[in-house]
């Protein structure tokens, strides 16, 4: 195990190389652009919400391995989830990447981002797509990690 | 090459980062400080700390003398004709804002134009945008070629009777291009236009002679020339500074104050309202002494050798593309790697003890020109060695291994 494996877990490298749900989706009901002014990265989220449940999700844009993998895993995870469930997961995910006393067991696939908390400069990479998603759900068109 | 023992003058460089010897290659962002500069700050606060200019007591006289000596050192360093042409500011950013506010804004009218270039730092874009917005004036941009060289021959055609000011950098912080400012200054003056040069990435790498250059305004930041943060220099021609209104009002910038009328002080004090960064200015003076003792010509030669070596070695790595290939460059090696985001490069390099900068380097229009969000940037200073370049190259290769 090399010294950067704690951040760049295999799963993250895989999602970075082969991102899931990357591209536009037809007939999306909500979308928003997320912007990280620190690095200039932009990620747009597009989702379809039917009866308060996310039925499809995709992302567009390019970023670092952390933000790409986070967006990729996010689009996979939220399909079939209710808005309140997504909000709860975001809180837990945010806690995972920022706080020592977080529980990786509650965040499912996102547990691979546990290493991010040791890299404060990279927290915003991990949360960029999340911020875009929350903005989309709130009916906003864009948001920023600042 | 400069002697490698020079590195031992810098305490911050004697440490391990993530278990590896620190290789500091983020010098275009800020340089490390030599022991002499750190000691000068300590010595100021330990022995002569006092407010300057109006005190009649001994400490105040000593502090004033040290502060004003630093001004003379700066004047000699960039060969200004008069020492009062040197204004101490917080940094290059404040210097540009000062000129925008006190020189250009008062002469700027609706539909007038200010010319900057495609490769400016945000600090040499936004202050001009602010006054253009206030006065409904227009910002014109000198284009560049894909190598990252300004198309100087286009400037003449951009100029009209509406052109009120030109401001460009001497050396680009994200590309490393050394601009032919002598030519741009001549074009400006040939059209009776005043010009400012942002020298934040220049004075630490190459010799600057303002009497020869004849720029109307020139600026740089102390922290990029081995001096403390929070101190910088604005040079302005005496005849211009003398006619300019103050930038900020306060103490020390006045001759007399009544509620009816205030008489402003002479230059340079007119532009140094409030208690200045006295320790910082003294530290800057010491940093300049240090640079002069090594010799700017020797520094330029040393850094050019490092840059050439690094450029040659990084070109051998498949998938690496250098951003900024001007014929004349100083210190900066900006690059991207296919399929790997600069932030990921930065993190993997840091794990190996190599500090570089990743991001847009406060030059988003430059990044847009190349159609990229960011680059990885290594920038060299006097204390770097060929060994540092070797470590950089090795680390870049390792980064590619991790991501493929």
Taking only the tens place, the pLDDT of each residue in B223-273 is 999 999 999 999 999 999 999 999 999 988 888 999 999 999 999 999 999
Query: Is there a contact between A64 and B402 if contact means CB atoms under 8 Å apart?
Result: no
pLDDT tens digits, one per residue of A21-77: 999 999 999 999 998 877 778 899 999 999 999 999 999 998 899 999 999 999 999
pLDDT band of residue B54 (cuts 50, 70, 90) is confident
Q: Which residue has the tokens 């210190």?
A: B331
**Total residue count of chain B as it appears in this document:** 404
Q: Does B403 touch chain A (CB under 8 A)?
A: yes
Asked whether residue B289 is domain-assigned, the answer is yes
B318 and B251 share one domain: no
**Residue where one domain finishes, among candidates B293, B324, B352:** B293
B228 and B205 share one domain: yes
Using an 8 Å Cβ cutoff, are B335 and B314 in contact? yes
Q: CA triplet B78, B84, B86: central angle to 5 degrees?
A: 40
CATH classification of the domain holding B336: 3.90.1150.10
Provide the residue range defining the domain that includes B128: 38-293
Partner residue opposite B359 with nearest CB, options A39, A62, A68: A39
Which residues lie below 8 Å from residue B393, measured CB to CB, with a gap of 6+?
Answer: B310, B313, B314, B317
- Radius of gyration, CA atoms only, chain A: 14
Using an 8 Å Cβ cutoff, are B91 and B280 in contact? no
Query: Is there a contact between A40 and B364 if contact means CB atoms under 8 Å apart?
Result: yes
From A32-41, B69-78, B80-89, the region with the lowest mean pLDDT: A32-41
All residues of chain B having their beta carbon less than 8 Å from the beta carbon of residue A8 are 344, 348, 402
| B362 catalytically annotated | yes
Helix axes B126-135, B92-99, angle to 10 degrees: 20
CA distance B229 to chain A (A): 21
B94 and B167 share one domain: yes
What pLDDT is recorded for position B273?
Answer: 94
Q: Active site residue: B362, B369, B390, B398, which one?
A: B362
Per-residue tokens: B304: 């050019």
CA distance A9 to chain B (A): 11
Q: How many helices (H) and strands (E) in chain B?
A: 14, 17
How many CB atoms lie under 10 A from the CB of residue A127?
A: 25
- Radius of gyration, CA atoms only, chain B: 22
Name the residue of chain A whose CA is nearest to B340's CA.
A64
Per-residue tokens: B40: 């000068």
Using an 8 Å Cβ cutoff, are B264 and B255 in contact? yes
Query: Is there a contact between B373 and A13 if contact means CB atoms under 8 Å apart?
Result: no
Is pLDDT at A1 greater than 60 in this prediction? no
Using an 8 Å Cβ cutoff, are B383 and B7 in contact? yes
Asked whether residue B149 is domain-assigned, the answer is yes
Residue with the larger pLDDT of the pair B191 and A140: B191
Q: CA triplet B215, B220, B222: central angle to 5 degrees?
A: 150
Q: Does B400 touch chain A (CB under 8 A)?
A: no
B255 and B343 share one domain: no
Partner residue opposite A64 with nearest CB, options B343, B351, B360: B343
Is pLDDT at B327 greater than 70 in this prediction? yes
Residue B72 vs residues B48, B79, B242: alpha-carbon distances, Å: 19, 10, 19
Partner residue opposite B341 with nearest CB, options A4, A64, A119: A64
| B 324-363 near A (Cβ less than 8 A) | 340-344, 347-348, 351, 358-360
Q: Which residue has the tokens 């980062």?
A: B17
CA distance B390 to chain A (A): 20
Using an 8 Å Cβ cutoff, are B363 and B125 in contact? no
Asked whether residue B248 is domain-assigned, the answer is yes
* Spatial distance between the Cα atoms of A63 and B157, rounded to a whole number of angstroms: 39
B359 and B256 share one domain: no
Q: CA triplet B28, B355, B372: central angle to 5 degrees?
A: 65
B242 and B327 share one domain: no
Structural element, H or E, at residue B297: helix B296-315
Asked whether residue B404 is domain-assigned, the answer is no
Query: Is there a contact between A38 and B359 if contact means CB atoms under 8 Å apart?
Result: yes
Which of these, B313, B340, B324, lies nearest to B403 by C-alpha position?
B340
What pLDDT is recorded for position A43?
Answer: 93
Which residues lie below 8 Å from residue B345, measured CB to CB, with a gap of 6+?
Answer: B337, B356, B358, B376, B396, B399
Q: Does A66 touch chain B (CB under 8 A)?
A: yes
| B 4-43 near A (Cβ less than 8 A) | 18-19
Asked whether residue B220 is domain-assigned, the answer is yes
Q: Which domains does chain A show, CATH number per domain?
A: 10-138 (3.90.1010.10)
pLDDT band of residue B159 (cuts 50, 70, 90) is very high
pLDDT tens digits, one per residue of A79-128: 999 999 999 999 999 999 998 877 777 788 899 999 999 888 899 999 99
B357 and B254 share one domain: no
B308 and B287 share one domain: no
Both ends of chain B: CA-CA distance in Å? 36
**Residue where one domain finishes, among candidates B242, B271, B293:** B293
* Spatial distance between the Cα atoms of B55 and B67, rounded to a whole number of angstroms: 14
Domain count, chain B: 2
* Alpha helix segments (H runs only) across B178-295: 181-190, 210-213, 238-241, 278-294
* Spatial distance between the Cα atoms of A25 and B287, rounded to a whole number of angstroms: 58
Query: Is there a contact between B347 and A122 if contact means CB atoms under 8 Å apart?
Result: yes
What pLDDT is recorded for position A2?
Answer: 65
B18 and B67 share one domain: no
* Spatial distance between the Cα atoms of B219 and B222, rounded to a whole number of angstroms: 10
Mean pLDDT of chain B: 97
- DSSP state, A22? B
B249 and B388 share one domain: no
Phi/psi for A100 (5° steps) reads -65, -40
Q: Does A13 touch chain B (CB under 8 A)?
A: yes
**Residue where one domain finishes, among candidates B228, B262, B293:** B293
Query: Is there a contact between B343 and A66 if contact means CB atoms under 8 Å apart?
Result: yes
Q: Does B373 touch chain A (CB under 8 A)?
A: yes
Query: Is there a contact between B341 and A122 if contact means CB atoms under 8 Å apart?
Result: no
All residues of chain B having their beta carbon less than 8 Å from the beta carbon of residue A17 are 403
CA distance A135 to chain B (A): 22
Using an 8 Å Cβ cutoff, are B227 and B99 in contact? no
Write the burial class of residue B43 (CB in 10 Å: 0-12 exposed, 13-18 middle, 19+ buried): middle
What pLDDT is recorded for position A3?
Answer: 67
How many pairs of residues across A and B have Cβ atoms under 8 Å apart? 53
CATH classification of the domain holding B249: 3.40.640.10
All residues of chain A having their beta carbon less than 8 Å from the beta carbon of residue B341 are 41, 62-65, 68
* Alpha helix segments (H runs only) across B104-224: 105-107, 126-135, 155-158, 181-190, 210-213
Q: CA triplet B273, B275, B281: central angle to 5 degrees?
A: 100
B43 and B115 share one domain: yes
Query: Is there a contact between A64 and B360 if contact means CB atoms under 8 Å apart?
Result: no
B357 and B236 share one domain: no
* Spatial distance between the Cα atoms of B169 and B176, rounded to a whole number of angstroms: 11
Query: Is there a contact between B344 and A8 if contact means CB atoms under 8 Å apart?
Result: yes
CA distance A39 to chain B (A): 5
- DSSP state, A33? E
Q: Does A119 touch chain B (CB under 8 A)?
A: yes
Using an 8 Å Cβ cutoff, are B43 and B63 in contact? no
């Amino acid at each position: 195990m090399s010294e950067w494996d704690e951040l760049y877990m295999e799963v993250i490298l895989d999602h970075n190389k082969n991102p899931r749900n990357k591209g536009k989706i037809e007939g999306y009901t909500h979308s928003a652009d997320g912007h990280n002014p620190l690095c200039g990265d932009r990620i747009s989220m597009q989702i379809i919400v039917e009866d308060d449940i996310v039925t499809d999700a995709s992302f567009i844009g390019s970023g670092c391995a952390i933000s790409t993998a986070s967006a990729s895993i996010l689009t996979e995870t939220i399909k079939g989830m209710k808005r309140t469930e997504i909000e709860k997961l975001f809180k837990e995910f945010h806690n995972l990447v920022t706080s020592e006393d977080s529980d990786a067991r509650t965040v499912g696939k996102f547990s691979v981002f546990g290493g991010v908390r040791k890299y404060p400069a990279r927290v915003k990479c991990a949360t960029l797509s999340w911020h875009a998603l929350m903005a989309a759900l709130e009916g906003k068109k864009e948001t920023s990690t600042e | 090459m400069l002697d490698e023992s020079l590195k031992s003058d810098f305490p911050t460089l004697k440490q391990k980062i993530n278990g590896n010897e620190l290789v500091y290659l983020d010098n275009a962002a800020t340089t490390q400080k030599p022991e002499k500069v750190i000691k000068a700050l300590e010595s100021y606060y330990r022995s002569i700390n006092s407010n300057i200019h109006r005190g009649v007591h001994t400490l105040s006289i000593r502090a004033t003398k040290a502060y004003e000596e630093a001004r003379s050192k700066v004047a000699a360093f960039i060969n200004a004709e008069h020492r009062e042409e040197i204004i101490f500011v917080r940094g290059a950013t404040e210097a540009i804002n000062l000129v925008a506010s006190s020189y250009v804004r008062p002469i700027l009218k609706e539909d007038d134009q200010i010319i900057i270039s495609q490769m400016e730092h945000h600090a040499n874009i936004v202050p001009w945008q602010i006054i253009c917005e206030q006065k409904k004036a227009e910002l014109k941009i000198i284009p560049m070629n894909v190598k990252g060289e300004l198309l100087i021959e286009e400037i003449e055609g951009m100029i009209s009777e509406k052109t009120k000011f030109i401001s460009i950098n001497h050396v680009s912080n994200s590309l490393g291009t050394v601009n032919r400012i002598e030519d741009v200054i001549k074009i400006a003056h040939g059209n009776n236009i005043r010009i400012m040069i942002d020298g934040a990435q220049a004075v630490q790498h190459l010799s600057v002679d303002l009497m020869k250059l004849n720029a109307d305004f020139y600026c740089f930041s102390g922290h990029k020339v081995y001096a403390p943060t929070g101190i910088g220099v604005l040079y302005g021609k005496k005849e211009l500074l003398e006619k300019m209104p103050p930038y900020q009002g306060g103490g020390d910038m006045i001759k007399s104050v009544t509620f009816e009328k205030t008489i402003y002080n002479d230059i340079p004090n007119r532009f140094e309202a409030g208690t200045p960064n006295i320790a910082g200015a003294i530290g800057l003076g010491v940093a300049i002494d240090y640079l002069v003792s090594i010799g700017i010509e020797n520094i330029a030669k040393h850094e050019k050798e490092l840059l050439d070596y690094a450029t040659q070695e990084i070109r051998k790595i498949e998938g690496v593309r250098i951003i900024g290939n001007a014929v004349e460059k100083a210190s900066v090696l900006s690059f991207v790697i296919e399929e790997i985001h600069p932030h990921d490069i930065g993190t993997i390099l840091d794990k190996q003890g190599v500090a570089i900068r990743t991001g847009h380097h406060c030059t988003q229009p430059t990044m847009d020109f190349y159609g990229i969000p960011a680059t990885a940037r290594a920038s060299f200073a006097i204390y770097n060695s060929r060994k540092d370049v070797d470590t950089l190259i090795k680390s870049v290769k390792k980064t590619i291994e991790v991501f493929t």
